[in-house]
C-alpha cells in the first residue's frame, strides 16, 4: 500500500481510538466518547457525478464538534477517497465478505477495503439480514473487519412484528451476543447501531426515551458478555429516520452516542444540517 495512504488510515484509526479514550478505560464510570459520531449510509444510491456534487455542496467541513463517516457504494470508495480526506470525513464500507481473498464472485474482502482507505465497515444491516445474512456471517465479518484494522459497525434491531410480539430485547440480545463472537480482543474497536427495522426509511423515529432504554440494555449486554470497560467505550448509534429535527434530542440521551443515517445523508444540505444541529 502507498505509505502516505497507510499513514493517513493509521492516523484516522488512532483518532478514533483516542476519541474512545482507551486509556484508563476500566476506571471510567460512563461512556467514553467525547464527540458524537454520525455515520452516513448511502446504501445503493448516488452516481459518481452525484457524489462529486454532494462534496461540492458541503459548506461546513471539516467538522470539529463531531466525527463524520460516509459509507458510499463500494465502487465509489476509491474515486471519493481524496474528497473525503479534504472534508475531514472518514471513509466506510457498507459490507465486506466474511472470508479473506478467494473464489467469491462479486464480493469484496476486508484487506482491499482497508487498502482503499476504509476505517469503518457496516455489518449486519437489516436490509442484508432480510436478504439472508446470518448471525454467524455477521460474527465472521466482524472478525474480518477487526483483523483488517477497520472498525465494525454492527446493526441490530427488531422488526415491527417482533416488537408487537414483545421480542425486542430477545432479538437484540441474540444479535449483539452473536456479533461479539467475532471480537477476540478486549480492546478491539467495536460500534453498535441500534436500528429498529420499523423506523428505517419510514419517517417513524423511535421516541428518544425508548431508544435510550434499548441503548442502555445493549450496554448492559456488552458488559455482561465482555466487561464494563468494554461496554463503556463502545459507541452505540441510533438509526431509523434520523434528521436534523430529531438528532439533538436523540444524542442528548446518555447512551446514544451518535447516529447511522440513511435518507437524510444523501443531500449535502440535509447531511450538514444534522451535523450543525449537534453544535
Ligand X SMILES: O=C[C@H](O)COP(=O)(O)O
Instruction: Count the helices and strands in the chain (H runs, E runs).
Output: 12, 8
Tell me if residue 195 is catalytic: yes
Buried/exposed code over 235-252 (b: 16+ C-beta within 10 A; e: otherwise) = bbbbbbbbbbebbeebbe
Catalytic option among 98, 133, 158, 195: 195
Residue in this structure with the C-alpha cell 455542496, named with its chain if needed: 57
Q: Least separation, in Å, of the C-beta of 198 and ligand X?
A: 10
CB nearer ligand X, residue 195 or residue 255: 195
- Residue 232: how many other CB atoms lie within 10 Å: 21
Q: What are phi and psi of 207, to 5 degrees?
A: -60, 135
* Residue 43 annotated in ligand binding: yes
- Residue 125 C-alpha cell reads as 444491516
* Residue 241 annotated in ligand binding: yes
Which residue of this chain has its Cβ atom nearest to ligand X in the complex? Answer: 262
Q: How far apart are CA 2 and CA 190, in angstroms?
A: 26
Q: Is the dihedral of CA 246, 241, 195, 32 positive or negative?
A: negative
Q: Least separation, in Å, of the C-beta of 93 and ligand X?
A: 13
**39 three-class SS:** strand
Q: Least separation, in Å, of the C-beta of 244 and ligand X?
A: 12
* Residue 198 annotated in ligand binding: no
CB nearer ligand X, residue 168 or residue 232: 168
CB nearer ligand X, residue 239 or residue 258: 239
* CA–CA–CA angle 99, 140, 238 (5° rounding): 125
Q: Least separation, in Å, of the C-beta of 239 and ligand X?
A: 4
Q: Is the dihedral of CA 133, 135, 140, 146 positive or negative?
A: positive
Q: How far apart are CA 177 and CA 104, in angstroms?
A: 27
Q: Least separation, in Å, of the C-beta of 257 and ligand X?
A: 16
Catalytic option among 97, 120, 125, 143: 125
Q: Least separation, in Å, of the C-beta of 77 and ligand X?
A: 17
**209 three-class SS:** helix
By CB under 6 A, name the binding residues for ligand X: 41, 125, 195, 200-201, 239-242, 260-264
* Residue 229 annotated in ligand binding: no
* Residue 117 annotated in ligand binding: no
**Nearest Cα to Cα of residue 122 among 157, 151, 99, 143:** 151
CB nearer ligand X, residue 62 or residue 201: 201
Q: How do 191-194 and 151-156 pair as beta strands?
A: parallel
| DSSP E strand stretches across 150-261 | 151-156, 191-194, 236-239, 258-261
CB nearer ligand X, residue 123 or residue 260: 260
CB nearer ligand X, residue 229 or residue 256: 256
* Residues flagged as binding site for substrate: 41-43, 201, 241, 262-263
Residues acting as catalytic residues: 125, 195
* Residues flagged as binding site: 41-43, 201, 241, 262-263
Amino acid at each position: 500500500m502507498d505509505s502516505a495512504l497507510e499513514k493517513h488510515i493509521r492516523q484516522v484509526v488512532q483518532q478514533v481510538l483516542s476519541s474512545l479514550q482507551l486509556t484508563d478505560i476500566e476506571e471510567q464510570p460512563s461512556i467514553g466518547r467525547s464527540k458524537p459520531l454520525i455515520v452516513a449510509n448511502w446504501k445503493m444510491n448516488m452516481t459518481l457525478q452525484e457524489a462529486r456534487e454532494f462534496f461540492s455542496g458541503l459548506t461546513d467541513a471539516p467538522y470539529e464538534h463531531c466525527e463524520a463517516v460516509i459509507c458510499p457504494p463500494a465502487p465509489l470508495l476509491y474515486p471519493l477517497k481524496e474528497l473525503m480526506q479534504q472534508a475531514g470525513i472518514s471513509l466506510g464500507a457498507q459490507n465486506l465478505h466474511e472470508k479473506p481473498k478467494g473464489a467469491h464472485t462479486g464480493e469484496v474482502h476486508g484487506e482491499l477495503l482497508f487498502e482503499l482507505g476504509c476505517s469503518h465497515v457496516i455489518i449486519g444491516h437489516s436490509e442484508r439480514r432480510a436478504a439472508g445474512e446470518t448471525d454467524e456471517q455477521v460474527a465472521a465479518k466482524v472478525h474480518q473487519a477487526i483483523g483488517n484494522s477497520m472498525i465494525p459497525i454492527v446493526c441490530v434491531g427488531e422488526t415491527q412484528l417482533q416488537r408487537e410480539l414483545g421480542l425486542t430485547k430477545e432479538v437484540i440480545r441474540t444479535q449483539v451476543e452473536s456479533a461479539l463472537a467475532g471480537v477476540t480482543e478486549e480492546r478491539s474497536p467495536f460500534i453498535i447501531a441500534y436500528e429498529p427495522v420499523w423506523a428505517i426509511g419510514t419517517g417513524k423515529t423511535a421516541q428518544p426515551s425508548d431508544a435510550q432504554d434499548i441503548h442502555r440494555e445493549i450496554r448492559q449486554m456488552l458488559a455482561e458478555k465482555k466487561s464494563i470497560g468494554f461496554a463503556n467505550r463502545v459507541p452505540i448509534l441510533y438509526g431509523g429516520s434520523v434528521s436534523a429535527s430529531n438528532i439533538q434530542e436523540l444524542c442528548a440521551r446518555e447512551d446514544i452516542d451518535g447516529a447511522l443515517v440513511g435518507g437524510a445523508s444523501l443531500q449535502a444540505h440535509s447531511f450538514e444540517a444534522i451535523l450543525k444541529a449537534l453544535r
